Chains A and B, each alone.
Chain A
Amino acid sequence: MDVQGAYNAANHFLLKYLGISLFKALIVVVIALLHVAYITYVERKVIGRMQQRLGPNRVGPRGLLQPIADVLKLITKEDIIPSSVDSRWVFIIAPFISLVAGATSLAVLPIWEHFVVTNVNASLLVVLAMSSLSSFGVILAGWASNSRYSFLGGLRAGAQVVSYEIAMALSLVGVMMLAGSMNLVEIVKAQIASPFKIYAIPQIIGFFVFMIAAIAETNRTPFDLPEAETELVAGYFVEYSGIRFALFYLAEYFGMVVMSMLAVVCFLGGWYGPFDIPGIPMFWFLLKLYFLIFFYIWVRATLPRYRYDQLMGLGWKVLIPLSLLNIVITGFIKILV
């Protein structure tokens, strides 16, 4: 084969690879987007049922078109950027940072052994990096809005996300120790060896810490202090309205989906289940994912909100020592076995 031919072949291969990646990424993002849209619907419906009311039931049969109506409404709203905004560019870019960082992790999260946009070595690290990036959007939004409430909300968000970041990062160390890998596909495969094909049992402390930290990372009740409606009105996005608000909203729900997916992959055994469902390889994955999302919603309907000092106390004084303890115990047991 001559040089030119090899070059062409490589080029062709690269283009094909990029094309396939683009296609895969597009599928994943669109499916995730649909999920996000319908999570908002399910959330309202489920919370409605938990609170003895109906939830959305006007738009379409059983309110099924409600998310679409919401998007249409938000998209036809006037775009308002307050004149007091400090830096227009930061104000405009902040929701994009949140959104992109929140959704990009989807690229590395395996839904099935052969269905992941890209199977990289350090995929867990990518997810963690992206989840800490998304807090930048929140802090920048709070800072750029130049309003008292968003300023306080931004500060709170910054400190909260940073604190729970550590707990989350440490809670995953136990998983890495057991699996001996940072590759999420490998982690799922390694879980076959553990009881019930899940790590949630040997890593019960880690799972517990991770779930709490994940709720705090995504600013959901009972840790929704940065946007505590009854204290800071809406916190960091108080000045955002219309479609820019929707971007933050999307980012929050993407974060929720990503965190739930990460929990499924790292602790609940990914796509493996007690028995195989022929034809639908993602069945167990989706089932676990939906359960975790339901769990998020359930928590929201049940718990009151923490106070700021209590939240920080929980993060620093309980979760971090617990996750460190988890590492030591995991190592000890692994040495013994």
Chain B
Amino acid sequence: MEISLSLKYIPILITALIVFVIGLAMVIINQVLGPKRPYSEKYLAYECGLPPTGETRHRFDIKFYAIAILFAVFDVEAVFLYPWAITFDQIGFFAYIEMVVFIALLLVAYFYAWIRGGFQWD
């Protein structure tokens, strides 16, 4: 009997479970073995030896969003490239030209982002 395609992915889940159980076991053993001597200072957030003041949540740089958007663009591009790369032998020269055009188009956007300072952190 052959294993169907989707069933083949089950062992990945099993591995994940094993790792999770190992991690969980470590934490549980720690709960049992570890000492518990609570006092309020111990539970303060670390701020270089000073009691933390004020909010830690804060507006952060817009650049992180810009990076996230660029990431989405490029990751989608990578996803486009994968099937093309696998079937490269079969689809031949024309597909290659198409992909070069695709990459070139992407590079236009890339250089636009570069010139507009999308990758600039200062």
Contact = CB atoms under 8 A, between A and B. Distances in A.
The answer to whether A and B touch in the complex, with CB atoms under 8 Å apart, is yes
Contact of A104 (B19, B30, B48): B19
Interface of A: 9-10, 13-14, 17-18, 21-22, 24-26, 28-29, 33, 74-85, 95-96, 99-100, 103-104, 106-108, 117-121, 125-126, 145-149, 151, 155, 158-159, 162-163, 165-166, 169-170, 173-174, 176-177, 180-182, 233, 238-239, 242-244, 246-247, 250, 308-309, 312-313, 316-317, 320-321, 324, 327-328, 331-332, 334-335
Contacts of B119: 312-313, 316-317
B64 to A, nearest CB: 6
Nearest to B66: A159
Interface in B17-58: 18-20, 22-24, 26-27, 29-31, 33-37, 40, 42-48, 52, 56-58
The 5 closest A-B pairs by CB, nearest first: A309-B121, A107-B15, A118-B11, A21-B11, A176-B85
Contacts of B44: 82-84
B86 A147 contact: no
B29 A75 contact: yes
B78 A166 contact: yes
Contact of A79 (B18, B31, B40, B47): B31
A99 B88 CA distance: 35
A247 B28 CA distance: 13
B82 to A, nearest CB: 7
Given A76-B30, A243-B34, 10 more contacts: A17-B7, A25-B15, A29-B19, A75-B26, A79-B36, A83-B40, A103-B16, A170-B78, A324-B103, A327-B99
Nearest to A179: B86
**Range, interface on chain B:** 35 or more
Contact of B93 (A148, A163, A239, A335): A335
Given A147-B45, A182-B82, A104 B16 contact: yes
Contact of B23 (A17, A85, A100): A100
Contacts of A121: 5
Contacts of A75: 26, 29-30, 33-34
B109 interface: no
A107 B11 contact: yes
B74 A177 contact: no
A244 B74 CA distance: 34
A166 B80 CA distance: 13
Q: Most A CB atoms within 10 A — which of B11, B37, B89?
A: B11
Contact of A148 (B42, B47, B67): B47
A121 B82 CA distance: 13
Contacts of A106: 15
